[in-house]
Structure 1
């Protein structure tokens, strides 16, 4: 049996789509570094996606989509995304991989799943939450993004654990 036929028969997946990494402001750099190294090693692109539960999409007549804040008084969604892009540029400056940023809307697990489908991503990379009582309580109530992804879609999910020490 030829290599690709054997791979298909075994249910193995070819890594030809980009690596999709979920990013958040002030995330530990190991998450981005790991995803970028993986994408470079696989010879694929990197898509850095920020899933923002504080915005919703509005489709214009020309088909473009604007992300608008759920709370119009908050209005910080664009500033948060811009600051995150600056963090990504700094973190990826020395990495030989083509990358792009996507600002997604809604529940992070669902948003990353939608993006992975749209991009035909090879895999999804996410980080664990920071340690601490507030983060543990939030995870207990809302659930883990990684767990939701692992149970509700077919792509591999790589979880990069939070590390001790500052995130910068």
Structure 2
């Protein structure tokens, strides 16, 4: 089982993935994708070389450490084997690649956060869950991050909710 995780993501996504991995008796591969880097080339032996989109920004190692620490805290005492990997580039492509390499049964991702900025980002980059669902054969489990909204209730974004 493969799960896409970001450092600031609610614990719910990882908890749901771990629960399903334990139920299936499958190992859990936790994947963090550094979207601020891109693949420049891949050696024949599989070593991937990458470069930053912006030379002044390099958060990848911090993100990996944060995701690893978070997973260690959440999964301690759980009956699931797990590992953490960091890839670079497009999250949907990276998650698909790991799922192919590990012959994963399911890919788990969280929904995007609510808010104007996230809506704009998704408009330009698209939904990771939707792209995964259309570009590979494995089931995609999408874990909602926000509070549910009733069918007849208006969606309230960001700061409007606090008012």
Give the TM-score band, short-chain normalised: 0.7 to 0.9
| 1:118 pairs with 2:101 | yes
Q: 1:136 aligns with which of 119, 124, 127?
A: 119
Cα deviation, residue 159, structure 1: 0.3
Cα deviation, residue 62, structure 1: 8.2
- TM-score normalised by structure 1 residue count: 0.79
**What runs of 5+ residues in structure 1 fail to find an aligned partner?**
1-18
What whole-Å deviation, never above 9, does each CA across 1:83-120 have from its counterpart, x for those lacking one? Answer: 12111111111321010001011100111111111111
| 1:50 pairs with 2:37 | no
Q: 1:75 aligns with which of 58, 64, 83?
A: 58
Aligned residues: 146
Flag the 1:67–1:101 CA change in 2: closer, same or farther, 3 A. Answer: farther
Q: 1:41 aligns with which of 8, 19, 23?
A: 23
Contact 2:111/2:143 (<8 A) preserved: yes
Flag the 1:39–1:62 CA change in 2: closer, same or farther, 3 A. Answer: closer
**What runs of 5+ residues in structure 2 fail to find an aligned partner?**
148-163
Flag the 1:63–1:144 CA change in 2: closer, same or farther, 3 A. Answer: closer
Q: Which residue of 1 aligns with 2:2?
A: 20
- CA-based RMSD: 1.9
Contact 1:28/1:163 (<8 A) preserved: no
